[in-house]
Amino acid sequence: MIVRDAADADLAGILEIYNDVIRTSTAVYAVEPVSIDERRAWLLARRERGFPVLVACDASQVLGFASFGDWRGTWNGYRYTVEHTVHVRADVRRRGVGRELVEALIPRARELGKHVMIGGVDATNLDSILFHKRLGFERVAHFREVGRKFGRWLDLVFMQRWLDAPGAQRPD
């Protein structure tokens, strides 16, 4: 397995993983599958902002992908914080793919001068919460019934990881 920057040729694999997550889980609160054009626009937007989109691949296919982007939109006061996403193909979960992807994202965020990385996790997704804890994230917020999917209300947990020392100075 290698982890590298996503290429346009990876979009079909990224789309397949993302739409499977939408259809089968509450890892993403979207309810409708997205199109290849929507994923292409997402990839282009990430590139334009200087944010990475990484893929984990074996010899022939995308196994997972990860990225980060602005947290809470593009409000300047949040410019040192990013929110990440990581998704792994269902048949290769629990094999270290997600860990490799997030571990590759962290130095990329540091290189961009980011201070904090946030992950939003469905509160019932205990595997993802534990996964994030193992990567140094701590649970910092629990929002009750902020999402709805599959006929039920969903709680969202925010997990945070410092990318440098708490209180580190930055230019305003």
Residue span of the structural domain in which 67 resides: 2-162
Q: What is the CATH number of the domain that holds 136?
A: 3.40.630.30
pTM score of the predicted model = 0.95
pLDDT in tens, 108-125: 999 999 999 999 999 999
Query: Does residue 79 lie in a domain region?
Result: yes
Q: Is 134 helix (H, G, I), strand (E, B) or coil?
A: helix
Residue 60: its pLDDT value, please?
Answer: 86
Q: What is the pLDDT of residues 5-47, one digit of tens each?
A: 999 999 999 999 999 999 999 999 999 999 999 999 999 999 9
pLDDT at 110: 97
- Domain count of the chain? 1
Please, what's the b/e burial string for 35-63 (b: 16 or more CB within 10 A of its CB; e: otherwise)?
A: eeeebeebbeebeeeebbbbbbbeeeebb
At residue 26, what is the residue type? T
User: pLDDT digit string (tens) for 130-160?
Assistant: 999 999 999 999 999 999 999 999 999 999 9
Query: Where do we find the tokens 């701590």?
Result: 138
End-to-end Cα distance, the chain: 40
Q: How far apart are CA 53 and CA 43, in angstroms?
A: 7
